[in-house]
Structure 1
Amino acid sequence: MLTKPEIYIITNSYIGVNAGYLGDFSYSTHDEFYPYFCDLDICPSSIEGTTRTRFINILENSDASTQAKILKGVLKKYPLEYFPEEFRAIKQRTFFKIEELINRLEGGLSVINEQLIVTNSTVERAILDTKVLIENNGATSGVDRIHTALHGYLREVCKQGNIECSEEETLTQVFKKLKSKHPALQNGGVRQNDIDHIINSFSNALDKLNPIRNKASLSHPNKELLEEDEAMFVVNSAQTVLNYLNRKFKN
């Protein structure tokens, strides 16, 4: 969800406010904005106040999906070309910020979260928590939960495949055990050697998830946390592994 400062960035810094009114909105064009630019059935006229007051009220009280649609509508109605040339460099920075907000509100995962074939309640809860945390607080908050989801998923695959796995084994150890013992990972097709190299590279990447999770996520009261872009990279890397394994283990 959007914070108040983020909403004010959209209204004041990007669209602009004049005498309490938002951009070039009249009451009637504000009414038309939601169905025309956002594909939403929203009626601002039921809310008291100026167009700015009504816009902020609607944005604050909408869910994340609706907020994302409204922000997309804002960028559609007010592209950079709308603003005078001397202001575009400043507006462009805010434009990019709004795009980041849209990505966060839509779930933040640029890698699609596929429906898992092999799963359990712990894995499902961790995946749901990851999505909610990223949506509400950003990718840094989701690093711990995506680690838990992947680790729990690998353990469940071992369990269902009758591969012995202890509680103490790390995510990386479980992944390597699956790679060497699970029959679904023994045949990568015509480029088996190349696929093995890619899998081994991912195994090395997964090995870094453990210290990242322990030293730079919210799993512990760490003073230094991953930046948003790096956190999203970590989340998407783990999600890519989940998607690949999910397809290999579906039969």
Structure 2
Amino acid sequence: MALINFLLDSKFEGKLILALQRAVHSEFTESDWIEIGYQTGEHEYIQSHNRLLRSLHFGDEDYGASIFQVLKYLSMHNPDAIQVIIDNTKVNRILQRDAPDLLFELGANVDHVPTVLTKSLLATEVVERALADADSLLKTSGPISCVDRLHTALHGYIRALCTEAGIPDLEGASITTLFKKLRSSHLSFQHLGTRDNEIVRILNGFGTVIDAINTIRNNATVAHPNDSLLSEAEATLAINVIRTLFHYISAKVDQ
């Protein structure tokens, strides 16, 4: 989903602008603002703003308010500029630390899995967005990068389902542990149809697969600085397994 569509949601826009304002306020220098201006075609607006750079230079109290004003202007008139600010190295580092849920919802890679997905984001939307992101990454970065993106999305998705179902003891749980908890405690997985014994065997196999993909993600993808990476065929295999899990889990919880 394009950033402009997120910005049309006033609640999401408000949370994003607040997170960006805090990151920019703590990190940006005058040079950073000028660079953003030239990157986005907004250099005249930024350099002619009546307070932004002046307040920054003198450490005035209204600098924070000026940042809000600029971000709101860009949100309304140049959403692509907001994306440039999100992708700025300094800002993105702060967002990774303080607002991973927002980055995750935007479809960006995050260094750690968000605690819980935004309540307004439906399960079907999570699945559709993750799969769409995967298709985009396959075209631009190849299957190895896609493994990390889908693994992170699946981890956050399963944890969100567990949290919403009131399943306890999730703090720090691995994706393997969360999948076991989902299967054993979520009401949607208590009835597996007429061939439940065989389905249980399939799901047990997927539990083993998830554990293996978790190891692969940490030791053979670009999620961490690894020397030995998956080959393209094996990365594609991992991607297709995660896609299958997304479709199955989504189908069960949305019944």
TM-score (norm 1): 0.50
Task: Give the structure 2 partner of residue 93 of structure 1.
Answer: none
Residue by residue over 1:85-134, the C-alpha shift from the partner in whole angstroms, topping out at 9 and shown as x without a partner, is: xxxxxxxxxxxxxxxxxxxxxxxxxxxxxxx951677x776544432221
2:184 paired residue among 176, 180, 184:
180
Q: Is residue 234 of structure 2 the alignment partner of residue 230 of structure 1?
A: yes
The alpha carbon displacement at 1:166 in A equals 2.2
Query: Structure 1: which amino acid aligns with 2:123?
Result: V
Task: Give the structure 2 partner of residue 60 of structure 1.
Answer: none
SS at match of 1:189: coil
Provide closer, same or farther for how the CA distance between residues 196 and 126 of structure 1 changes in structure 2, counting only shifts above 3 A. same
SS at match of 1:147: helix
SS at match of 2:173: coil
Larger radius of gyration: 1
1:146 paired residue among 122, 144, 150:
150
Give the aligned length: 135
Residue by residue over 1:59-100, the C-alpha shift from the partner in whole angstroms, topping out at 9 and shown as x without a partner, is: xxxxxxxxxxxxxxxxxxxxxxxxxxxxxxxxxxxxxxxxxx
2:123 paired residue among 111, 115, 118:
118
Query: How many angstroms apart in 1 are the aligned matches of 2:129 and 2:122?
Result: 15
Query: Quick one: percent identity of the two aligned structures?
Result: 42
SS at match of 1:190: coil
Query: How many angstroms apart in 2 are the aligned matches of 1:183 and 1:165?
Result: 17
Q: Is residue 229 of structure 2 the alignment partner of residue 249 of structure 1?
A: no
* 2:124–2:250 contact (8 Å) kept in structure 1: no
The runs of 5 or more residues in structure 1 that have no matched partner are 1-115
* 1:185–1:248 contact (8 Å) kept in structure 2: yes
Query: How many angstroms apart in 2 are the aligned matches of 1:119 and 1:163?
Result: 20
Query: How many angstroms apart in 2 are the aligned matches of 1:210 and 1:250?
Result: 26
* Higher relative contact order structure (alpha carbons within 8 Å, sequence separation ≥ 6): 1
Residue by residue over 1:142-165, the C-alpha shift from the partner in whole angstroms, topping out at 9 and shown as x without a partner, is: 111110011011011112212124
Q: Is residue 199 of structure 2 the alignment partner of residue 195 of structure 1?
A: yes
Q: Is residue 159 of structure 2 the alignment partner of residue 155 of structure 1?
A: yes
RMSD value, Cα: 2.1
Query: How many angstroms apart in 2 are the aligned matches of 1:164 and 1:127?
Result: 28
Residue by residue over 1:3-54, the C-alpha shift from the partner in whole angstroms, topping out at 9 and shown as x without a partner, is: xxxxxxxxxxxxxxxxxxxxxxxxxxxxxxxxxxxxxxxxxxxxxxxxxxxx
Could you list the structure 1 runs, at least 4 aligned residues long, displaced by more than 3 angstroms after superposition. 123-129
The alpha carbon displacement at 1:193 in A equals 0.5
* 1:139–1:228 contact (8 Å) kept in structure 2: yes
Query: How many angstroms apart in 2 are the aligned matches of 1:192 and 1:237?
Result: 21
Q: Is residue 231 of structure 2 the alignment partner of residue 206 of structure 1?
A: no
The runs of 5 or more residues in structure 2 that have no matched partner are 1-120
TM-score (norm 2): 0.49
Query: How many angstroms apart in 2 are the aligned matches of 1:228 and 1:243?
Result: 23
